[in-house]
């Protein structure tokens, strides 16, 4: 079947316009403005952290390493859902944790983490000490990855644990530093 040339030309002009009309967003879906003075991107956490870690430079095989992790909230909001800790060195066993009263700690897929009951205003700090014991056969360098893991909790998720966050797909932000301690004989 043959189409008249005028019909083909009309479709060629109208088809691209119809495609753009389908892809256009309605005026009611326009984004709302953020409050004055605070602009948060979709990929930014509610609270970012400055991390300072104290650890010895050298330790004997079979000795203990004490890591002091100090986390300072850099904002732009109050930090009320964050964990302090990280990945401990291979071959090391957890000996002790010194933390504020009410702190809960545990091993998870991504390391050993402690949640403190403290909420940090912008500029406030929180610290914990994690003591690990190395095996007598330890050699080389003990490497740990320590810092803060923070999440932006949706309304009503305050009582959920870390395993539930992963299942629900809630995004984590890690503020961590690599710490190396040389093992001497």
Q: Where are the domains of the chain?
A: 47-184
Please state the rounded mean pLDDT for residues 122-148.
95
Q: What is the 3-state secondary structure (H, E, C) of the chain?
A: CCCCHHHHHHHHHHHHHHHHHHHCCCHHHCCCCCCCCCCCCCCCCCEEEEEEEECCCEEECCCEEEEEEEEEEEEECCECCEEEEEECCCCEEEEEEECCCCCEEEEECCEEEEECCCCECCCCEEEEEEEEEECCCCCCEEEEEEEEEEECCCCCCCCCCHHHHHHHCCCEEEEEEEEEEEEEC
In the predicted model, what is the mean pLDDT of the chain? 79
Please state the rounded mean pLDDT for residues 41-69.
90
Q: Is pLDDT at 110 greater than 50 in this prediction?
A: yes
pLDDT tens track for 65-99: 999 999 999 989 888 889 999 999 998 999 999 99
Q: How confident is the model at residue 151 (pLDDT cuts 50, 70, 90)?
A: confident
pTM (2 decimals)?
A: 0.72
What pLDDT does 45 receive?
81
Q: Is pLDDT at 26 greater than 80 in this prediction?
A: no
Considering the segment(s) 47-184 as one domain, its CATH architecture is Sandwich (2.60)
User: How large a percentage of the chain has pLDDT more than 90?
Assistant: 54
């Amino acid at each position: 079947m043959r189409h008249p040339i005028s019909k083909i030309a009309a479709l060629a002009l109208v088809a691209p316009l119809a495609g753009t009309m389908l892809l256009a967003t309605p005026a009611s879906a326009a984004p709302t403005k953020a409050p004055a003075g605070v602009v948060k991107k979709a990929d930014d956490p509610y609270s970012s952290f400055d991390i300072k870690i104290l650890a010895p430079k050298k330790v004997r095989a079979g000795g203990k390493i004490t890591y002091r992790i100090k986390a300072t909230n850099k904002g732009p909001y109050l930090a009320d859902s964050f964990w302090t800790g990280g990945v401990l060195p291979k071959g090391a066993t957890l000996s002790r944790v010194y933390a504020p009263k009410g702190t809960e700690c545990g091993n998870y897929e991504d390391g050993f983490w402690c949640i403190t009951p403290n909420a940090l205003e912008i500029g406030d700090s929180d610290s914990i000490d994690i003591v690990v014991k190395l095996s007598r056969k330890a050699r080389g360098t003990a490497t740990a990855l320590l810092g803060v893991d923070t999440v932006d909790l949706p309304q009503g998720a305050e009582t959920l644990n870390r395993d539930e966050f992963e299942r629900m797909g809630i995004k984590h932000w890690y503020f961590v530093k690599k710490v190396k301690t040389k093992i001497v004989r």
